[in-house]
Structure 1
Amino acid sequence: MAKILELQKKDKYNKERTVGSIEIKNQTETTADLCFFGDINSESLGEWQKYYPEDKAPKDVQDFLDQLEGVSKINVHINSGGGSVFGGIAIYNILKRYDAEITVYVEGLAASIASVIAMAGDKIIIPENAQMMIHKPSSVTWGNADDMRKEADILDGCQKVILNTYMQHTKEGVTAEEIDSLINAETWKNGKEWQEFFDIEVSEKSQATACKSEYFDKYNHLPDKLKEQPQQQINIDDLAERVAEKLKDATQPETPKVPENDVKQKTAEILEDLELI
């Protein structure tokens, strides 16, 4: 049995839109799957910020869990380039509080805060060709020296929380200083390499598709194979055809002229369809 949980969000015109969905797959009466195949958002997203269907925020995860009935096992699948520190920590806490056995599968990539979410698993499985990346949290701030110092203190606090989270899954003998050093260096490793530090299982090669993320340009040591991913290009001819199709009735003499605001809204809808805004 499967249920679809639609994720709703208001657009810039204050109109409710379906921005994605979570498919609740009950493989048995007691098992469900949760997939993180996009970036991680916080609950405080502004309407100006991009929100793709694959992205997840804490409320999405809580809504997913609230739909489950009698589930004692959850399989969490991750292929994510990271995202909001506070959003990811909240998701980790939500999963840890849920009364179920959680198995995490890193399908292709668990980078940045997605690696923290992976630590919510009672069991963590990373294929030999999948990667996990850990690094220092970062942010953007503006202000004077006092503002900068305050932000630095916040980031240092986040790093302590992240370090403590990783330490819940380290192998015996691995020290906090070792993991902190890997965090500071922005470390990318595959499943077999991480097994030296974390209590994880390594499976055979994954068939996961390439991961896409808005956060890749913020990482210092992004692997070449992720840099080489083609970026989506705007096809102006295609866009023009779609605008013309949407507004074709406006070309008829008996049809009143389409108000400018409607033209803008229809164009915005097309761009949203193309995942460009």
Structure 2
Amino acid sequence: MYKLNQLLDTLEVEQLDTFLFRGNSLPLALPRVYGGQVLAQAINAAARTIDSERQPHSMHAYFLRPGDAKRPIIFDVDPIRDGGSFNTRRVVAKQNGAAIFNCSISFQKVEKGLEHQMDLPEGTPMPEDLESDQARNERIYAQYSDKSAPFIFPLSMVDIRSTQPQHPIDPEPAEPEHGFWFRFNGKLSDDLNVHRTLLTYISDYKLMTTGLRPHRVRGLMEKIQGASLDHSMWFHQPVRVDEWLYYHLDSPKSGGSRAFNRGSFYSHDGRLVASTAQEGLIRVRD
């Protein structure tokens, strides 16, 4: 059972040189490195090559090859632009001499400007009124001795509470729209990079599978080849991940063996703090 400090140690990549970093993986019950880990390690590395007064506002990434959780990952940061208001960093993650991931991250000098936002979806239950996903899964799987529980982050790291959970074994088709509240357990420091790194880490969770919700695929999972293809993220304002945040997810379109998914992060008091978008491969094999 992993603790939050173990996750933080994993995401805080080792600096080998000015623009070269090395990270390891926290083993999870997945066949490859969890995409959110590589995203978080990349932004953690890039942010440490920028003056702390500049904050990331956007990240655009591609997953190129599956990562091996047993091998270190090298993060090569390219300082391609340092301007008066914006800085750009390109990050390539490598294993065995081959790129498994690349991204561009843009940083901006903090400025004031016009403001508006789309509000938290009306009728969203509050986290205090919801059961944790881990407790719910344990309760359901206790009735199925022959079934293995799906991957879920342990409650010792983060408390996740879904607002529209599907049955984990035999889900009924549902609208491609849902969400979950989450809060990392334990009091974290005030370092913005720590909170941003953890927000990036969880941004990949349940995003791709949003496109599976309308389709009765549970019995076909052995025939489905699924993988995150890309990932974009926009940081609208500073945030604390040791306080409740709501991640609202939807999938406007699926076709061509790809599902397009979007996400919006809201604070407990309804501020839109970050947004995401991703295409995922969902290929049904014969």
TM-score, length-normalised on structure 1? 0.25
Larger CA Rg, structure 1 vs 2: 1
Higher relative contact order (CA 8 A, sep 6+): 2
